[in-house]
Amino acid sequence: MQTVDLKQQILEEVKPYFRQIDEVSEVNTLKILDSMRELRVSDAHFKPSTGYAYGDISREKLDELYAKIFKAEKALVRTQFVSGTHALATVLFGILRPDDELVSLTGAPYDTMQTVIGHAHESKGSLKEFGVSYRELPLIDGKVDIDGIKKIVTSKTKVALIQRSRGYSMRDSLMIEDIEKICAAVKKANPNCVTFIDNCYGEFVETREPVEVGADIIAGSLIKNIGGGLAPTGGYIVGRADLVELASYRLTAPGMGDELGASLGDPRLLYQGLFLAPHVTAQALKSAVFAAGLFNRLGYNTHPLLGDKRGDIIQAIELKTPEKLIAFCRAIQKYSPVDSFAAPEPWDMPGYEDQVIMAAGTFVQGASIELSADGPLRPPYAVYLQGGLTFEHAMLAILAAAEELSKL
């Protein structure tokens, strides 16, 4: 079949799902708009500051805004976080003490988090070096073992780590209702155990966020969903006031916490990016749904399927051969607004066992809310596709990738 006909057919099929995505985006847009109105955000909050930046109104207002949107007691939103991993690690190092125990309830965590924890492989400066013990509850058929929670979470467990997104694996992403059940099971096993959600890629995919359903603290990256494609760098932590405070002493220094830290560059981008985030997340979700429909029709396994519930913006497609994986990533790169002339090559990325290929022709370096694709060179040669600032762009690039694959 001609790609043009196929495109029209898939666009028909995705309509009901796009409508649901638009509805979620509208609810989240209203939530942000109302918060910005109630907190009287104004031009004065978009100015940078210098030095210690005591009483920086840009920083303080943004923290207030995030706390309100997430229905949390306190927030720490900073471009001083170099990435999502930094924000997540700051929570763990902020709360955990020697001899404490951490458990992961969603199987093996995201690769960079394994390095922070230090139990899967040796890593300098890890939690393990500080005497924090660690255990993992394996997933069952890609799902959390709810019954297993009461066995793994004991009176000794200080923090339970729960990863919302599939990350780069074939497991399911968690829906907010799943997070609610998991948090309830943790609190039943040990009311003092802190429920900590890795919220990366999950923001604004649904109308509620983890703190509303029992999470004590959550963290994520500003160059994913919540930065709306405009945030130049950074991370956030929101949750219970006492826990966010502990994290703030790890970000800066004991006694200093959240009271210092200059708003560098153009703080407006963090506000404007947040305002755009529900819409941009919707664009990314539509791109993922379209890719699932198209590639499934072309005979590839996709995870999730077109109509499946989604708790994150990631779309996995099993491409079956290394040639196809490479061709897919090259096509995405070729149809990117930035560095379109570069041809991605598989490389030995630190922390990964197999070679990895990545396509990211993004305005913000490595921003995966912008259209990007990557995958490890091992069977089933799955490509992980995410982002898309506009559905139109993502669709064009996805169609081009399908065209390239048809030539192999």
Residues forming the site for ligand PLP (CB under 6 A)? 83-85, 88, 110, 112-113, 163, 165, 167, 198, 200-201, 221
- The minimum distance between CB 13 and ligand PLP, in angstroms, equals 28
Is residue 68 classed as helix, strand or coil in its secondary structure?
Answer: helix
Nearer CB in complex with ligand PLP: 84/293: 84
Nearer CB in complex with ligand PLP: 110/236: 110
Which stretches within 39-126 are classed as H helix?
Answer: 57-69, 84-95, 111-117
Nearer CB in complex with ligand PLP: 171/279: 171
- The minimum distance between CB 163 and ligand PLP, in angstroms, equals 5
- The minimum distance between CB 247 and ligand PLP, in angstroms, equals 16
> What residue ranges in 83-190 does DSSP mark as E strands?
101-104, 133-136, 157-163
Q: Rounded to a whole number, what is the largest CA-CA distance in the chain?
A: 66
Nearer CB in complex with ligand PLP: 35/221: 221
Q: How many CA atoms lie within 13 A of 313 on its CB side?
A: 34
Decide: 203 and 281 in contact? Cβ < 8 Å: yes
- The minimum distance between CB 369 and ligand PLP, in angstroms, equals 10
Nearer CB in complex with ligand PLP: 113/398: 113
Nearer CB in complex with ligand PLP: 225/333: 225
What type of residue sits at position 298? L
- The minimum distance between CB 235 and ligand PLP, in angstroms, equals 7
- Closest-by-Cβ residue to ligand PLP is 84
Decide: 407 and 326 in contact? Cβ < 8 Å: no
- First-residue to last-residue Cα distance in the chain: 16
Tokens of 186: 């943790």
- The minimum distance between CB 261 and ligand PLP, in angstroms, equals 19
How many Å apart are CA 75 and CA 274, to the nearest integer? 14
Nearer CB in complex with ligand PLP: 41/385: 385
Q: How far is CA 261 from CA 37, 238, 305, in A?
A: 25, 17, 44
- The minimum distance between CB 88 and ligand PLP, in angstroms, equals 6
Nearer CB in complex with ligand PLP: 258/374: 374
> What residue ranges in 147-216 does DSSP mark as E strands?
157-163, 194-198
Residue linked to tokens 């200093």: 256
How many Å apart are CA 392 and CA 273, to the nearest integer? 19
- The minimum distance between CB 47 and ligand PLP, in angstroms, equals 27
Total residues found in the chain within this entry: 408
